[in-house]
Structure 1
Amino acid sequence: MNAVIAAFRGFFKLLPTKVGLTFAFVLPLLFSVVWMTGYNGATERLGQLKVGIVNEEGEAGAAIEQAVRNAMPFEIASYGSLQEAQRQLNDGDADMIVSIPATFSADAQSGQGELTFYLNKTSAETANAILSASAERISSSLGQSQYGDSPRERIAANVVTLNDKSNFATSMLPMILGFITYVAVMTMNIQFNIASMMLGRCHGKWQIFWARQLIYVLVAALASLLTSGVAMLFVDPVASFGQMWGFHALVYAAAICLTQMTFALFGGLAALVNTGLIPFQLMTAGNIVPAAMLAPAYRHLGGFLPASNGVQGFFRLIYSGASVGPMAIHLMLIAVVAWGITVSRLALTKPKPQPVAQPAPSH
């Protein structure tokens, strides 16, 4: 029994034990605090969702357009054509489009009035569910307010989801390529940090640094090539293989540079810091709840994190083929800034003095 107690005490004298216990206590608390504060009141921020209206009936449809505006608790914008509105929807600048057809008034008088509501499969699941439910409710209320209870003069809701794909596995791919990449790189850099400390006994800090950068370049190029290639065996994305591979390489580069920077700044605590970024990235990825519905402090945080940009970009590449330029720019900035901070920190670090070899005693 005494030996067990001695071993028990010995555990608490070791740094890995303390780090492990910190993970066990801090990480669940961090997830709880971040998600409970970030998602708190999300459904009360429906006014942050953007809905576009296309009135193809002109002046004759002005009354119904105004009625649609009054019935919706969302931010409303008008578009001149359905093509322009759908482009805004694909680019993420609108969450839903309401189309008033050119023959709406005549159709309504004959009992065939219909409003078409366009959603985007790449938008957040929660937003699409809320908007889809509101489409039916709004159409019904408009029919009663405009035409009373006449059964011949009701307004139907036609909900169309753009960029829809029937294979459920496809919806998992953005998380695999965007988020799991970060987890893989984070784990890799934990091991690389240990390897660097071992090599520090016989190599200089810059030799080790540049050797790591060479490995990173190979990882970003080859791992993204392999993963993107395997992914395309199972799904048929709108984007080309080159686009998928190139964007995935950027996600790798940003994740590598960010996790490398934390080790340069925080040393052994970097593993906790990198893991602590996970709840922020999952929340701001926008695939469950749109960033606009998050608490104000979290809305723009995703632009500074690799996995958030990765998930958003892959949704576009896989489903709509819309431009991923903003996400690509964010990823490049993350990589460049984080890499620059790492180099600066390394330059300011003084090398540890090497022990002086003692001369062998003479006989």
Structure 2
Amino acid sequence: MKNVLMLLKNKAFITGFVMFLFFQSLMLLVFLPGYTAIPKNIPAMTVALLNNDKGETGAEIAKGLSRQLPFKLDTHSSLEQAKEDLENREIHMIIQVPEDFSEKVSNPGEQVNLNFFINQSNPSTAATTMQSVVTQVTSALNAQFAVQTVQGTLQQLNVGEEEAAALAAGVPSKIAANMVLSNPVPAGMHNQMAPMFLPMSIYTGAMMFTMISLNGFHALKRKMGKWQSFFALQGANLVVSIVAPLAGLAIYFLIQGHSASSFFGAWLSHSLEAIASIEFMSILYLVFGQMGSIVNIPIMLTMTIANGAVMAPEMMYPFFKFLSQWTVMYYPVHLDFNFLFGGGGTGELLLKLALYAVVCMAIVLGLHFWKYNKKEVTPALGAAPAAPAAQPAR
């Protein structure tokens, strides 16, 4: 017991205990408040409501939905524009009242479709929320039509109000939901979570690689020289960034088959992510030294929410929404959605990820010049130059 108390009083053990408390508290303080945005911020999502029906019934349906749906509504887009926005994840669902809606509704023996367009290549909360809304909207409209038509007719025949309501509830559904699902995600939770796990594995690997490779860089710097060792390190980083992602991609593609184009697209995306992550981690280590890995932990925890893999940016709190565009994982997450399942804006995402890597590399270059240049001893202003060493007599 005496030895245990001695160890517990040791500074290293006290520091370890404090870090234990700090990081578990930090993780909960980031995750728990961050995920309270679901379902609180679901009304921040955008739905396009298009009424192509020329009759009065379609206008009434659209007016009723605009009052009842708890979302931001876009009622001015054409169907083509709305589909493009849906593909680019700028909106999350399209509800279309078709042209022949009023005509078919007036026909007692015919069922009418209400069209719902959903892009499944989206964060899991966005896709599941929209599909649940389809069921709720269809059920509410069918109940409304049953009450307005059948119940009114039965009451005219002197049937009691309660009995008429019960009979109306048993009437077959007048409105059917025609769900048009684009970019389907293969069955399995591993597929839905792949756009989160693949970028996270690359970032974690880049963190460990950078920490170890910088130690090797400091050892070789004395042999190669400051700038030769620096550019040699950048060349090695590029090689590692191209080769290393193949391991993780091979594991996923062996578990879940995809096309060759999906593989090479994901390889390009994660190679860019790898070099961007290495350069970003280099900034932390050059600024904070060995403390860089500790500084990175709250950054990585924040990125797990801000990367947009679980919830759409529109649903995030302002803090996470602001950071999402500045985190290295945001772009490969959405590129994985595109390459693995489908989606728009791929070129723009790749360009932004490449630009992110270039900017981080430029910052590393500046830090390297500033940090190691100031260590070089320069003679004081006005001081006489040192006398040359005496030459041995011949």
Q: Bigger shift: 47-56 or 32-41?
A: 32-41
2:177 alignment counterpart: 157
Change (3 A) 1:173 1:42: closer
Moved more, 306-315 or 1-10: 1-10
2:281 paired residue number: 259
* CA distance, structure 2, for counterparts of residue 270 and residue 50 of structure 1: 39
Letter of the aligned partner of 1:44 in structure 2?
A: K
Pick from 330, 355, 360 the counterpart of residue 308 of structure 1: 330
TM alignment of 1:113-128, pairs within 5 A? 113-128=112-127
Deviations 1:304-337 (A, max 9, x none): 1111221121112211142223432332232222
| Aligned residue among 313, 316, 322 for 1:291 | 313
Residue equivalent to 2:238 = 217
* 3-state DSSP of counterpart to 2:288: helix
- Cα distance in 2 for partners of 1:269, 1:305 equals 20
Read off the aligned partner of 1:276 and give its amino acid letter: P
Runs of 5+ in structure 2 lacking a partner? Answer: 151-170, 378-394
How far 1:263 sits from its partner (Å)? 0.7
In the other structure, the counterpart of 1:348 is 370
Go from structure 1 to structure 2 and tell me whether the alpha carbon gap of 1:71 and 1:325 turns closer, same or farther (over 3 Å shift): same
Does 2:24 align with 1:25?
no
Distance apart, 1:267 and its partner CA: 0.7
Residue in 1 that maps onto 2:94: 97
State the secondary structure of the residue aligned to 2:319: helix
Q: CA deviation at 1:251?
A: 1.1
**Per-residue CA distance 1:215-268 (angstroms, 9 max, x = gap):** 111012222355546644532159544433222221112111111111111111
Q: Which moved more, 1:210-219 or 1:104-113?
A: 104-113
Q: CA RMSD in A?
A: 2.9
Amino acid at match of 1:254: A
SS of 1:243's equivalent in the other structure is helix
Whole-Å Cα distance in 2 between the matches of residues 176 and 96 of structure 1?
26
Asked if the contact 1:54–1:85 (Cα under 8 Å) also holds between the matched residues in 2, the reply is no
What amino acid is the match of 2:181?
Answer: T
Pair 1:48 & 2:41 matched = no
Deviates more, 1:227-236 or 1:80-89: 227-236
CA distance in 2, matches of 1:22, 1:219: 35
SS in 1 for 2:178: strand
CA distance in 2, matches of 1:56, 1:127: 26
Q: 1:296 to 1:7 in 2, by over 3 A?
A: closer
- What is aligned with 2:210? 189
| Residue of 332, 337, 340 corresponding to 2:359 | 337
Q: Secondary structure in 2 aligned to 1:92? A: coil
Amino acid at match of 2:127: N
User: Mapping of 1:124-273 within 5 angstroms?
Assistant: 124-145=123-144, 148=147, 150=150, 151=171, 154-168=174-188, 169-200=190-221, 202-225=223-246, 227-228=248-249, 231-233=252-254, 234-237=256-259, 239-273=261-295
TM-score (norm 2): 0.78
Q: Secondary structure at the match of 2:345?
A: coil
Distance 1:82 1:312 in 2: 24
| Cα shift readout 1:88-114 (whole Å, capped 9, x = no counterpart) | 111101111112222222333335133
Considering only CA atoms, is the larger Rg found in Structure 1 or Structure 2?
A: 2
Deviation at 1:271, TM superposition (A): 0.6
Matched, 1:73 2:70: yes
1:120-174 Cα shifts (integer Å, max 9, x gaps): 2222222222222222222222334455253367333333432113342433432
Structure 1 gaps, min length 5: 354-363
Give deviations 1:69-92, integer Å, cap 9, x for gaps.
Answer: 122010111365544322211110
Distance 1:59 1:132, change over 3 A: same
- Asked if the contact 2:195/2:333 (under 8 Å) is kept, the reply is yes
Residues in 2 aligned to 1:326 and 1:27: alpha-carbon distance in whole angstroms: 36
Rounded to whole Å, the distance in 1 between the matches of 2:277 and 2:68 is 44
- Local SS of the residue matching 1:265: helix
Question: Matched residue of 2:325: which SS?
Answer: helix
8 Å contact 1:42–1:295 — kept in the other structure? no
1:12 aligns with: 12
Q: Which moved more, 1:290-299 or 1:263-272?
A: 290-299
In the alignment, what sits opposite 1:356?
A: none
